[in-house]
Structure formats: C-alpha cells, structure tokens
C-alpha cells in the first residue's frame, strides 16, 4: 500500500513555487525483489520505476521486468552484446531507458540533453511542462555524474514582480534557482525491514525529496528521459519482449498515465510513495 504525504512534507520542499510532480510512484531501488544489484543497478531501478507507471505493470497484470529480463531485451534488440545478459554491467543511460520503455509499453520517450549541470536550469521550464501534461516518472543520466536519478517533478520559482525589474538588469533570486524532486535508486532496504519502515526511512533520509538543481555537477553532461503516453490503440504490452512474465498480458485500465500528474502553485498537493515487497 502506498504512503501518502503532502508535497510540502517531502525533504527540501520549496514553498510557494510552481510545482509539477507525479502523484504517485513505486520506489524501485537496490535490492528489490531480493536481487542484489548494489553498486551497479541504479539505472535499471530508475527504469523499473518508470515502467511501474504504465500498464500492464501499473495494474498488476504483469510483473515489472527484472534486471535479467531487461538485459535480455537489450541484447535481443542488438543494443547490447549477448554477454550483457546475465552480467553486472551498468544499464547505460537515458538512451537505453528509452529503448526499453518504448519496447515494453509502446510509449515514446523524449530525450533532452544538457551539456553541463549549469545548462539544466534553462531546460527546466520544458521539463515542468512535461510533468504538467504527463504522469510517468523520468530518469536523469549523466557523464561524469554516474549516479542515475529517478525524476518525479520540478519546482520553479514564481516570476519576479515588475518592481524587481530594472533597466538592463534583473535582481537574481537568492538560493537555488530551481528544485528537482528525485528518488534515489541507491537506497537499499534492510533485511527484514517492513515496507512501511523502509518508506519512512527513505523519506527521513532524503532518499526521496527535493534537491537544488545546483547539486548537479557543472563538469558533467546530463540526459533526461521523459516518457510520453502510448499512441492511441497501443495496448502497453511489451513489443519483442517474450519472457513468460509478460507474454499474453493485457492492461485493464487506460494506458495513459496522464491522470497521475499533479500540478500545484503552493504546497497543497499530495504525493504517494510505495516500496515494493522484497522477495
């Protein structure tokens, strides 16, 4: 069962900013399903969080593809060599995420590139617009910054009033220029820890929370993977993914996660976080 809390209660939440977030998501992270991927599986876990927003996975009609299944999918596509399947190699980045999401859900994925962390703030209005229109989580992958991040929302400051405008200059606001709502796939659920305890620890420890965009590395490029709704008539079932877990599965509700989107100009929105039961 999901844990619900106000957006304002999430660690680092800005107040009075323009906010667009997913309404709910499944926090996939190291050690999910009893599979030990500590140190190399963060990209796969961000991908699984994205897939959890789409049928048939959102509806429970099929389990989210496991890390070995994802590896086999990429090897079958020719995106990875055959030896990739069953390995402990990193997933890659936003491009590999887009390949799997499109194959598994029929949903296209928009890729947005920033040449450095300093370029990200200029891109955030379009990222916020994405969350205003679509409810699926996204993923951020980097170059020098090798830590995958599950993107759940964006907060931008209110526009400066005209009284703050000056001829030829604008007063720069103090503090962060924007916030990203991130879920860290490097969180590891302890052996024997209940789902509720894991949720509380993830929130209290800042594993899910608002982070200043300035935390991104200036020396690293970043790629954003922003999943879109499937085209009309798409059933959301994996194309070319014939593992027994998803073969023949069909969704039982609308394929578009649009209804999961949540926009707020204050701190009135609620947010749901779910930690899956470990195997």
Helix (H) or strand (E) holding 10: none
Of 188, 71, 94, 201, the closest CA to residue 148 belongs to 94
User: Measured between alpha carbons, how far is residue 267 from residues 1, 18, 35 in Å?
Assistant: 23, 9, 36
Kindly state the DSSP code that residue 258 receives in the 8-state scheme.
G
Q: Which of 42, 130, 134, 241 is catalytic?
A: 42
**Which phi and psi (to 5°) does residue 208 adopt?**
-125, 120
Which letter, b or e, does each residue of 113-145 get, where b requires 16 or more Cβ atoms within 10 Å of its Cβ? ebebbeebbebbeebbebbeebbbbbbbbbeeb
Q: Are 256 and 230 in contact (CB under 8 A)?
A: yes
186 among known catalytic residues: yes
166 among known catalytic residues: no
Report the distance separating Cα 84 and Cα 100, nearest Å: 15
145 among known catalytic residues: no
Q: Which of 5, 33, 186, 270 is catalytic?
A: 186
Helix ranges restricted to H, the chain: 42-51, 67-77, 94-105, 120-133, 195-204
The CA R_g of the chain, rounded to the nearest whole Å, is: 19
DSSP structure string for 120-180? HHHHHHHHHHHHHH--S-EEEEESS----EEEEEEEEPPPPPGGGEETTEEPPPSS-S-EE
Report the distance separating Cα 37 and Cα 30, nearest Å: 6
Kindly state the DSSP code that residue 11 receives in the 8-state scheme.
T
Q: Which of 32, 37, 184, 256 is catalytic?
A: 184
> Which of the residues are catalytic?
42, 184, 186
């Amino acid at each position: 069962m999901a844990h619900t809390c106000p957006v304002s209660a999430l660690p680092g939440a800005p107040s009075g900013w323009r906010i667009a977030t997913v309404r709910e998501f499944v926090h996939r992270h190291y050690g999910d399903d009893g599979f030990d991927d500590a140190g190399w599986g963060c990209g796969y876990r961000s991908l699984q969080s994205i897939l959890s927003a789409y049928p048939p996975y959102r509806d429970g009609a099929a389990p989210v593809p496991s890390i070995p299944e994802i590896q086999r999918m990429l090897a079958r596509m020719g995106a990875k060599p055959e030896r990739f399947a069953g390995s402990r190699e990193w997933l890659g980045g936003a491009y590999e995420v887009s390949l799997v999401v499109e194959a598994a859900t029929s949903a296209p994925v928009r890729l947005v590139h920033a040449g450095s962390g300093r370029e990200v703030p200029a891109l955030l209005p379009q990222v916020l617009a994405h969350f205003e229109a679509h409810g699926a989580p996204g993923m951020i992958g980097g170059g020098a910054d090798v830590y995958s991040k599950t993107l759940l929302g964006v907060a931008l400051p209110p526009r400066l009033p005209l009284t703050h405008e000056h001829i030829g200059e604008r007063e720069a606001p103090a503090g962060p220029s924007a916030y990203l709502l991130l879920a860290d796939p490097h969180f590891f659920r302890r052996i024997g820890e209940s789902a509720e305890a894991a949720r509380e620890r993830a929130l209290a420890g800042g594993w899910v929370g608002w982070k200043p965009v300035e935390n991104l590395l200036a020396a690293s490029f970043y790629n954003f993977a922003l999943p879109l709704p499937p085209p009309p008539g798409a059933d959301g079932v994996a194309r070319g993914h014939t593992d027994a877990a998803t073969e023949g599965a069909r969704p039982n509700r609308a394929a578009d996660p649009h209804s999961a989107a949540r926009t707020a100009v204050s701190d009135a929105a609620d947010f749901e976080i779910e930690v899956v039961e470990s195997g």
